[in-house]
Structure 1
Amino acid sequence: MLQQIEKDISCPYCGEVITVLIDNSVPYQEYIEDCQVCCRPIEFSVVVNGEDVELTVNADF
């Protein structure tokens, strides 16, 4: 069963708060998703430990 949780983050480019969906059935993931406001690419690193989700957001200017 696919489980997703919502996380609010601030875009490192425009500063707007956006909501991203995290698949917490995968223990470690890295991916790039465009900001929903300014369309710039945001690099996400996600670590899932049971119920805890650690989300790291990186962006290069």
Structure 2
Amino acid sequence: MIETLTIDCPYCGETFSTVVDCSAGDQAYIEDCVVCCRPIECRLTVTPDGPVLTVQRDDD
């Protein structure tokens, strides 16, 4: 299942959309901000209520 989620960049604060593939289950990956190009640590958790995406700075 493919979902489009909205996240806020932990560096520049800009909001942007990202596409996640929930069929692979829980995941951790790095995605660059589309505005400031800094690396964002993303953690996708697939729950019965839908996907939950948490983000944090790569340098934390």
TM-score (norm 2): 0.86
1:1-35 deviation digits (Å, cap 9, x = unpaired): xx311111111111111111110102110000100
How large is the RMSD of aligned CA atoms in angstroms?
Answer: 1.4
Aligned residue in 2 for 1:31: 29
Aligned residue in 2 for 1:15: 13
1:49 and 2:53 are equivalent in the alignment: no
Between the aligned partners of 2:32 and 2:2, the Cα distance in structure 1 is 18
Any unmatched runs of 5+ in structure 1?
none
Between the aligned partners of 1:28 and 1:51, the Cα distance in structure 2 is 14
Q: Aligned to 1:25, what secondary structure does the other structure show?
A: helix
Any unmatched runs of 5+ in structure 2?
none
- Percent of aligned pairs with the same amino acid: 46
TM-score (norm 1): 0.85
| Count of residue correspondences | 59
Structure 1 segments (4+ residues) deviating >2 Å: none
